[in-house]
Structure 1
Amino acid sequence: MKKIRLFNIKVFILSGFVLFGMASCSQQPAKETETDGETEESTAPEGLRPVSLTNQQFEALSIKTDTLAQFGFKDVVVANGNLNVPPQNKASVTAIIGANIASINVFEGDKVKKGQVLAYLNHPDLIDVQTEYINARNQLEFMEKEYKRQQKLYKEQVSSGKTYQKTRADYYTLKADVLNLEAKLKLLSLSPSKIKEGKVYEKVPVLSPIDGYVEKVEVMTGQFVEPQKPMFQIINNDHVHADLMVFEKDVYKVKVGQKIIFTVESLPGEPMTATIFAVGKSFEQNPKAVHVHANIDNKRGMLIPGMYIVGRISTKNEFVDALPEKAVVGNGGDSYIFISKKTDDGWLFTPLKVITGQKEGGWTEIKLLSPIGSGTKVAWNAAYYLLSEMKKSETGDDD
């Protein structure tokens, strides 16, 4: 019996050592797994290291960086249109009276300020109107004295009422003529007060009525321009907006405040967002569609009125994170985007593993495996190139 009990005790003790050893072994890998998890969250995926680019490389590749975009893949209305500006941001500069072009001071594309001289006009008629004003002004001064004299005589009952009434009528008629000539001189951008003092302008300036750019020059030096003939077209692009045409079948879906994502044909790969501020109330006939106007939220590049655009109107304003397809690259069955960071001597791009979802119109839905800061910027293009550079870097390190 003692031998049996002793054997049982030895077996029990041995079993305890075995269980303790197993428990110790099971705890150690857990710590390693936890450490590995922290490493994966703070560094690039295994086999893909961050890559550095110089400023020259960054500019040569025309890499665009921005935060994740918001894109609507469902309940959208696709519409085409153009960039446009409000009517008050366009100006057609015409001649007030017939005259010759003495000189032209601007070229098409020049930036101009309101009141800046675009050209000078000269013509005998311009001198005649100034001379006419001087004569009328002198006559008015004489007639004013005569009117006051006749008024005094009439009150003293020395002069007849008929003489007084005629003098009064002549005075106010001449005064109206002078005011009319003054208004004409001001339209010609001439100073009536200086002309009254004897200054006669041989040429008159043509001024820009708004700030903007010279869109068209429609005259040449020496040319005679008829009254109201357009000489210059000025346009201000500060308030350029998206002007889309929505077909009749979709009009009821579109409302003020809805978001639009659009691209400009001449700026491929640079999508922009806009917010609808006005929906037209009448149909254009060719095609039968309504104008929808939207303010551009993130203007980029040179936006010129008339540029062709294609837009997607999200009718329910339901959006998900998305990026242009050139911002996503596949590697080993996984998808990656690249977080960008500006450094002292260039740029640093770190790969971030993501899951892709819906794809449409050159956009790809991005599902993050872990959250990133709302202000975190990522590369919007050149993902394939960045991946290639990283693989080159890995090969170089291995050598």
Structure 2
Amino acid sequence: MGKKSIKWMAVCVMLALSVLFGGCAQSAEPAEEAPPVKEAVTVQVAPAKKGDIQSEYLYSGKVKPIGEANVVSTVAGTVQQINYQVGDPVEKDAVLFQMGTEDIENNLTVLKAQLEATKAQVRSAQTGVELVNGAAMQTQIQSAKTGLEQAEIAYNDMKTTYENNKQLYEAGIISKSDMDKTETGMKNAEIAYNTAKTSYDLVANQMPEENLRKAQDGLAAAQASQKAVEAQMASAEKTLRDAAVKSPITGVVTGCTLTEGTLYSSAAGPAFVISDTSKVHINVSISEQLINRVKPGQKVDVKITAVSETPLQGTIDTVNPASNQTGTYEVKIVVDNADGTLKSGMFGEVHFTKEKKENVIVLPREAVVTSGGENYVFVNEDGVARKKLVTIGIDTGKEVEVTGGLEENSSVVVKGQAFLADGDTVNVSGSGKEA
């Protein structure tokens, strides 16, 4: 092979190596790539609207009837009949049960006979009073009056005779013995006259007064006897009425310990328990921070989950201004229960207003992110999430008041904010999407 051919082959080899190594050098350098594009985050948004918000104190207690009556019988004996059972509604004055009355009725029969006897005694005594100045008494008075008049005439006649004889004696016309007889006769006539006056006074004045007093005393005694029997009868009749034991209030039977045909007395405890559940009350013990914020007549929300998730309206009935042993204050809340759905013993929560704001921006609590001592929200601005630092006020745990850093009607992210960073692209979707 000639030098020219060898030279040409060398040139070819060099060219080949140049192409080979050049390709390897090019393949060793990495090619520049465009940064990856972050996908849009799907969120729900809602406009920042103004509204009302309030924070609350929450206290719990048990439902109790507004009124409760323990019913006993004042009549001991055998239970004759039971008219109601536990759970039955009853009206006021309805007969709950009947006690046996045979002994009471027998006693009444005896007392009625005694009453008739005392009434007869009263009538007799009244007749005695009327006869004190009756015909017989008037006859005695007239007779005594006649005797007095006759004695007075005889005395006056004898006195005249005495005066005449005295003159005759002094003139010596009659003897001393005749004068003595005349004087004796006048004294006798005077005695007879005084006796007649005494007798008349006795018959006409003293005897009627004495007889009247005796007759009146007899009448009073008979009337007292009648009243005593009437009092016993009234007591027996009341006992007979009390044997039909009535409900003192309208309500529901919540307790009954009786069995027909068995003995019962009040010492055994209440026979019936009647509860008035037309209204119920809940007693709660509140703190000193709240005591000066509540007063009777104030409305409060009462939540009884056994009946409804929607709070019922209650009214503060009483507020005890003195604390109990635990340092809290008892408050009684009354709730209407006309339909009877609230039962004694149910658990209830009473909500007292702690703080209330009106016409302020209110957001769902989850819309506000708290991190690193900051509170912020994300606002959708033309498909881009913008972080906004905010200040908050009332926080109920479900809602929060925004006091600064957010304008009304801003499109606030309420779902999906946990996955956002400032400047992220957002895709608005779901029930929270703006109208």
TM-score by length of 2: 0.48
Query: How far apart, CA to CA, are the structure 1 residues paired with 2:338 and 2:396?
Result: 22
Give 1:255's match in structure 2, choosing from 295, 316, 331.
Answer: 295
Q: Aligned pair in 2 of structure 1 residues 299, 120: CA closer, same or farther (>3 Å)?
A: closer
1:31-77 Cα deviation digits (max 9, x unpaired): xxxxxxxxxxxxxxxxxxxxxxxxxxxxxxxxxxxxxxx99633x43
Aligned to 2:304: 264
Identity %: 21
Q: Choose which of 245, 249, 253 in structure 2 pairs with 1:214.
A: 253
- Give the aligned residue type for 2:61: G
The answer as to 2:75 corresponding to 1:97 is yes
Q: CA deviation at 1:261?
A: 1.5
Structure 1 residue 106: Cα displacement = 1.2
Counterparts of 1:176 and 1:110 in 2: how far apart (Å)? 43
Distance in structure 1 (CA, Å) of the matches to 2:354 and 2:111: 62
Q: Does 1:149 align with 2:130?
A: no
With over 3 angstroms needed to count, the CA separation of the structure-2 counterparts of 1:179 and 1:359, relative to structure 1, is: farther
> What is the identity, as a one-letter code, of the residue corresponding to 1:212?
G
Matches within 5 A, 1:245-324: 245-248=285-288, 250-264=290-304, 266-267=306-307, 269-285=309-325, 287-296=326-335, 302-314=341-353
Match of 1:126 among 86, 95, 104: 104
- 1:171–1:260: structure 2 CA closer, same or farther, 3 Å change rule? same
Are the aligned partners of 2:125 and 2:219 in contact in 1 as well (CA < 8 Å)?
yes
Report the CA distance between 1:120 and its aligned residue. Answer: 1.7
- Structure 2 gap segments, 5+ residues each: 1-50, 135-207, 365-377, 379-392, 403-407, 410-429, 431-435
**What residue in structure 2 maps to residue 164 of structure 1?**
216
Please state how far the C-alpha of 1:293 moved relative to its aligned partner. 2.4
Distance apart, 1:166 and its partner CA: 4.6
- Residues 91, 144 of structure 1: CA spacing in aligned structure 2 closer, same or farther, 3 A cutoff? farther
Distance 1:316 1:304 in 2: 31
What's 1:106 paired with? Answer: 84
Matched, 1:73 2:54: yes
> Where do residues 1-399 of structure 1 align in structure 2 (5 Å cutoff)?
73-74=54-55, 76-86=56-66, 89-122=67-100, 124-153=102-131, 157=208, 159=211, 161-162=213-214, 164-186=216-238, 188-189=240-241, 204-227=243-266, 229-248=269-288, 250-264=290-304, 266-267=306-307, 269-285=309-325, 287-296=326-335, 302-314=341-353, 360=396
**Residues 298 and 307 of structure 1: CA distance in aligned 2, closer, same or farther (over 3 Å):** closer
Tell me the TM-score normalised to structure 1 length.
0.51
Q: d(CA) in 1 for partners of 2:90 and 2:70?
A: 14
Distance 1:223 1:310 in 2: 44
User: Displacement of 1:365 after TM fit?
Assistant: 7.8
How far, CA to CA, are the matches of 1:317 and 1:298 in structure 2?
Answer: 28
Q: For 1:221 and 1:304, how far apart are their aligned partners in 2?
A: 29
For the structure 1 residues 211 and 301, does the alpha-carbon distance in structure 2 shift closer, same or farther, using more than 3 Å as the test? closer
Q: How many residues align?
A: 252
Name the CA shift for 1:205/1:364 in 2 (closer, same or farther; >3 Å): farther
RMSD: 4.1
Partners of 1:366 and 1:132 in 2: CA distance: 84
Local SS of the residue matching 1:236 = strand
Gaps of 5+ in 1: 1-69, 191-203, 326-332, 334-356, 371-390, 392-399
Partners of 2:111 and 2:282 lie apart in 1 by 49
Change over 3 Å in CA distance of 1:255–1:315 after alignment to 2: farther
Task: Please identify the structure whose Cα radius of gyration is greater.
Answer: 2
1:160/1:291 Cα in 2 relative to 1: closer, same or farther (>3 Å)?
same
CA distance in structure 2 between the partners assigned to 1:216 and 1:225 by the alignment: 15
Give yes or no for contact 2:278–2:337 (8 Å, CA) kept in 1: no
1:174 Cα deviation from its structure 2 partner? 3.3
Question: 2:64 is matched by which residue type in structure 1?
Answer: N
- Check conservation: 1:72, 1:314, Cα contact below 8 A: no
Q: Which amino acid aligns with 1:278?
A: T
The Cα of 1:176 is off from its aligned counterpart by 4.3
